[in-house]
Amino acid sequence: MKCILMNKNVEVLLADYDSATGVFIKVYDVYNIDYAPYILKSFYNSADINDTPFRTNLSGWFKGRGIPSWRDKLDLLLHRLNINAPCELLDKAFGLSLSDQYWLKPLNSNIKYEDINFFDNDFDYAEFMEASLSKNGSYIKNASSLITPNNTTDGMLKKAWIIENGTRYLLKGGYKNETLQPFNEVLASEICRRLGFDHVEYTLDTYKDTVVSKCPCFITKDTELITCHQIRNDMKRHDSVEDYEEYIKRLENEEIKDARIKIENMYIVDFLIMNEDRHLNNFGIIRDVNTLKWLDVAPIFDNGQSLNIEYYDEEELHISGEGKLFYEVKSFDEIIEVVKDIKRIDVNKLDGLVEWFDDLLHEYQHLTGYSDTRINRLCILLNRQINKLKKLVENN
């Protein structure tokens, strides 16, 4: 398919796209590299737009918008959607997403962004939601059910975009037989709310007796999320805290206000809930797609892999754990050291948080099947991290 990659109403490039493989076969012309996906700028060479790095990374970026091969119960989802591979979904809705404004416009088409984007235009989601989240979901019956932003949702968890009262919400389940992820998301939101950190607000919901997290879309039709991975792509890699410092400096050079403090806040939350999966694609910045101005650090989101979720054992309480600081795996005690002024945190605002979390876990115990022992151990871990933060504040 010969098409134009668009950024909202701006033509970015002209290329041949193969729907069967999800690959751009040839790039004919680049009209506006400034409005291209940010990660492509470092690979752009106007003298040879079909050289391997540019075209390969264009395809990699586009595939990365879709459902990954490691999505939980992917085979079952594909079976219910009656497709063979996730890449078959990528261009069914012009490649549109709720994380940015890029889309594929067939050459010589009169389609307008205003008529198809999912920020302004409603979409069917009930069938996709059932196929993705239900334990006994049915086949997709209506072709329109595949014209949704659910085609461009990355990550390993089962998820689905829905619409309620005009607001776009993302529902996310647990991973395999583990159901703690939604509770960890809500816990992180409660911590952020108490400490005054900018964050995406997660709440709990149920779908056919399955507990899911629910959060509103934090991108608008005039903004996009640019992940840290994209920004770090054209910067030197050190495999040390220098990577963190260079990233902060880059954000400050783009005049993002309080960049260091907001990134520190994210790592404070990671410390408190022992978030082991702060990879470079679940934080970043918000950019205006019209002016290309960097507006702000993205609010804190995607906190599910926390509280030693991978290591729970009814027979033993695991109290150690490691998180991520850019390319390094470090203990949480080391990660918290990046916070320059830990005394600015009013830890007393977390008083009663453990009891609140205990009540929350018991409220949904009939659905999760968590034993009182497990709930108690989760609360012990949380209480320990809060007390460790209190000591750090007192001793600095």
Go through the domains of the chain in sequence order and give each one's CATH number: 2-172 (no CATH), 223-395 (1.10.1070.20)
Residues 6+ apart with CB under 8 A from 36: 5, 7, 12, 13, 30, 44
For residues 50 and 44, give the distance between their C-alpha atoms in angstroms, rounded to a whole number.
10
pTM higher than 0.85: yes
User: Phi first, then psi: what are they for 10, rounded to 5°?
Assistant: -100, 130
- Exposure letters 4-33 (e unless 16+ CB within 10 A, then b): bbbbbebebbbbebeeeebbbeebeebeee
Question: What is the predicted pLDDT for the residue at 225?
Answer: 98
CA-nearest of 166, 165, 163 to 148 is 163
Pure H helices in the chain: 52-64, 74-81, 113-116, 126-133, 181-195, 228-232, 241-253, 259-273, 332-335, 353-363, 365-368, 372-395
Mean pLDDT of the region 326-345: 96
Dist. CA 296–CA 279, nearest whole Å: 19
Sheet holding 203-207, edge to edge: 159-164, 167-172, 210-216, 203-207
Which has more confidence, 157 or 193?
A: 193
User: How much of the chain exceeds pLDDT 70, in percent?
Assistant: 97
Asked whether residue 224 carries a pLDDT value surpassing 90, the answer given is yes
Q: What is the pLDDT of residues 253-293, one digit of tens each?
A: 999 999 999 999 999 999 999 999 999 999 999 999 999 99
The pLDDT value given to residue 316: 66
What three-state secondary structure class fits 312? Answer: coil
Beta bridge partners of 211: 206
Token digits for 270?
């990671």
Give DSSP secondary structure letters for 23-34: EEEEEEEES-GG
For 93-131, what is each residue's pLDDT tens digit? 999 999 999 999 999 999 999 999 999 999 999 898 998
Q: What is the C-alpha to C-alpha distance for residues 88 and 92, in angstroms, rounded to an integer? A: 7
Mean pLDDT value across residues 146-153: 93
Q: What are 21-48's pLDDT values in tens digits?
A: 999 999 999 999 999 999 999 898 766 7
**Spatial separation of the C-alpha atoms in residues 182 and 304, rounded to whole Å:** 6
Residue 3 backbone dihedrals phi, psi, to 5 degrees: -150, 165
Mean pLDDT of the chain: 93
Chain segment 302-328, per-residue pLDDT in tens? 999 999 877 766 666 767 789 999 999
Amino acid at 253: N
